[in-house]
A and B are shown apart, each in its own frame.
Chain A
């Protein structure tokens, strides 16, 4: 086993007859923001709980910084920042007291924990509310406290389970601002799960799609979006307007916006390759401003991949 922040090999976990994880292979490198998406019950949270040593897998190997989280978590814990789907706060305490308590668990001195708590509450935008009890906080504010808590010990690996769940735009921005900075400046690795595909697409260097306990697609965000969309769509912006009849004669099956002079071609639907399209453009001496492949959203890729997996099963 190497000392990668996260390395899972063929991990399996059952709950009775239910197979929660069916051979998960996954690794996260230092400084990488790794996203994991999948439908409810697909195994995202179970994967996280396995990583935190809260579930023992029946098969496969799990390594966090080269140690087994089930048996050696005391070595791993101080290097980790964890934000679970439930913020898990002590409602009777104030934000500062809660962070001081966790600072104590991490072995920080009382003064050190207090100073760090103050810094982090400023960083997550909770200045002025630090003396209010946590039970009076909104869901978004509680998520911010949980985020501050997971940054308390200056972690080398962040594990965030649904951090965007029920948060407002401001909290989302706080998360978006903090995480990439930690990855690039301090080499913090991040594993984040979410149903918010847009945020995952924006933040993550690599993404895995998990379905029925298996990773059905995984790769760098741009590559994943290109290779798993299930469709190749070319968008051509012509510099000279052509009548729509001519456009449909040359490129049967394409969508043409005559007013803008934009052709949109689904290559599979049109039964053409990229080369054939380019050849036709050159043969017809059509001048154009741009030709580009239409980028599919993560949402499209997600549906395409999970649907494919469902059909193959």
Chain B
């Protein structure tokens, strides 16, 4: 489990942006988590509460959206959302390795007090 490290990096990014903007405190951090990112969102949420202590994000709300895996079929170019770990095209049956989304682990935006 490496969620603490990841959340620390996310909070660092947030604090850096907030400081640059001259904000007093961060009240919300929003993340985007791909379902193939290898991260467990609930563990991230739990780690967040510990990591923000004694930073300008202390007490901030943690929000995230899950980005589902989306693929493109190499043969018929259909875009689809696989249901299992096998990314089989529902149109022609070919297996895709081309990911359109699903690996994201991003800080989207923050809400700050000026």
Does A pair with B? no
